[in-house]
Amino acid sequence: MTVLDQLKMLFGRPPVSAMAGTAAVKPRRRPPTHHEKAVQKQLDELRRRRRERFRILVCIDGSEEANEALRMAAYLGRPDECDIILLYVRHVDHGLASGGLQVRVARQNMLDWGIELPGIRDLREGLELLKSEGMTLEGWTYSIAHTDVWGDPLGDNKVEYRDETTGRSIVLKLKTAPDTASGILDQYELGPYNLMILGESSRWHSEFRSIFFGGSVVQKVAMLAPCSVLVARKGSHQKTGFFICTDGSARSTDGVKRAAVLAKTCGAPITLFAVAPTLKGRPFAREAVENARALLKSMRIEVAHVKVAVGDPAEQIVRHGANYKLIVVSDEGRTRLQRVFKGSVSYEVVRDARTSVLDVR
């Protein structure tokens, strides 16, 4: 049975991603050259192998918030089939700011003195943090790869630690990009990844303001990432439990199923939550959580608690979910324009929550 068949069986209909996956191997109109074929075959094989693993991309910058993201990655990525990729994005200088002298010259000078560049130091500290969270790399092999990008010879650097028995890997990636957010999104294209984890940002513009003034890296990635995004917040590692929200829609039910699998593999207790906008809608909210509970039961996943609240959905989720390790919300799949005018509950929760939030896509 192929992966696609299993997905069809589990989810009823194949997700778009799976369809796109099959399209990638469709024969081209123009017959490819021998070399192209070989490269394509290699890429397809690599991608196929990667899709069988749960890949977490953790974006770090050396801050406290980034350490929280690392702790969260260590927590979620314990099973053997999880790969963790630590990413540090370094800016390419536009030249005007450095007066026309490439910043690379200064960086090269630092290397000549034997000083570590900040990205390297942060990645190494990140790896140490993963080890302190219980990940042992003993007996693992490692390989180093380097690519020149954006005309910067310091370019992209990758160190991959690999456990040959389980196939599990931890990758440290130092990447050069014109800006951090586009570097992270570009890294997804090289992936794919199942989940991106970022530390909370202190700067978060409203949806409308962000069109003109941009936003923080976290905001941009949360807006544009094609996969699920987890925003880690300080202090959430001391809490327990997944706080999974549903509104009864097909999309959110799908999100509940997927998050519940993750919760089960982590051994975390699940609390299901639904919000009714008015008292009148309370029975519908109750029905939504009960349906979700029944669905998870059919998947043999236990639900610890169910909760229902009345009021503004984003506000209630933020309030009731504050004491859990992770709030899980499903993305409504709205476009940017729709979000500007209609708003987005998941987006508001990601922005305002007082604990870590997983936005499932």
Partner 1 sequence: MSATMSSMTLARDSLQAHEPSAGWSTWLVRQGYQRLLVLRAQIDLYYFWEKRWFFFVLGFGALMLSLAPPHGLSQEGWVMLIMSGAATVLFITHPVPLPTVALLIIVGQVLLVGVDSDIVAGNLMTDSVLFIMGSLMLAVAVVKQKLDKRIAWSIVRITGTRTVNVCFGISAVCGLMASFIGEHTVAAMMLPVGITLISLTAQNPARIRNLSAFILFSIVFGCTTAGIGTPSGGARNAIMIGYWQEFFYNPANPATRRYVIDYLTWMLYGYPLFIAQLLFVTPILYFTFRPERQDLSRAVAKLRLQIELDGPMTPGAWLSVFIFILIMIGWITASQLIGMGTVALLGTCAFLVTGLVKWEDINSGVNWGVVLLYAAAISLGVEMQTTGAASWLADQVFALFAPIGLGSGLGLLAGVAILTAAVANTMAPGAAVAVLGPIVLKLAGPTGADPIQIGFITAFASAFAYLAVASSPASTIVFSSGYLKISDFLRVGWRMALMSMILLLLQAEFLWPLIDHWR
Strands 324-330 and 305-310: unpaired
Q: What's the closest the beta carbon of residue 126 comes to partner 1, in angstroms?
A: 14
Tokens of 78: 């314990």
Interface of this chain with partner 1, residues 105 to 164, rule: CB under 8 A: 105-107, 109-110, 112-113, 115, 117-119, 121-122, 151, 153
33 belongs to the binding site for partner 1 (CB under 8 A): no
Among 37, 41, 305, 336, binds partner 1 (CB under 8 A): 336
In sequence order, which residues have a C-beta less than 8 Å from that of residue 13 and are 6 or more positions away? none
Q: What's the closest the beta carbon of residue 163 comes to partner 1, in angstroms?
A: 16
Among 2, 10, 31, 34, binds partner 1 (CB under 8 A): 10
Give CA separation, 303 vs 215, 269, 325, 344, in Å.
37, 7, 16, 27
Tokens of 60: 């770090």
Q: What's the closest the beta carbon of residue 180 comes to partner 1, in angstroms?
A: 13
Task: Give the x-and-dash track for 182-201 against partner 1 (CB under 8 A).
Answer: x--x--xxxxxxxx------
Residue type, 234: K
52 belongs to the binding site for partner 1 (CB under 8 A): yes
Nearest to 355 by CA among 229, 244, 234, 222: 234
Q: What's the closest the beta carbon of residue 159 comes to partner 1, in angstroms?
A: 19
Tokens of 281: 């809608």
In sequence order, which residues have a C-beta less than 8 Å from that of residue 40 and are 6 or more positions away? 32
SS3 56: strand
Residue type, 357: V
Q: What's the closest the beta carbon of residue 262 comes to partner 1, in angstroms?
A: 4
Q: What's the closest the beta carbon of residue 86 comes to partner 1, in angstroms?
A: 16
Interface of this chain with partner 1, residues 198 to 227, rule: CB under 8 A: 211, 224, 226-227
Task: Give the x-and-dash track for 288-327 against partner 1 (CB under 8 A).
Answer: -----------xx---------------------------
* Cα atoms in the 13 Å half-sphere on the side-chain side of 326: 28
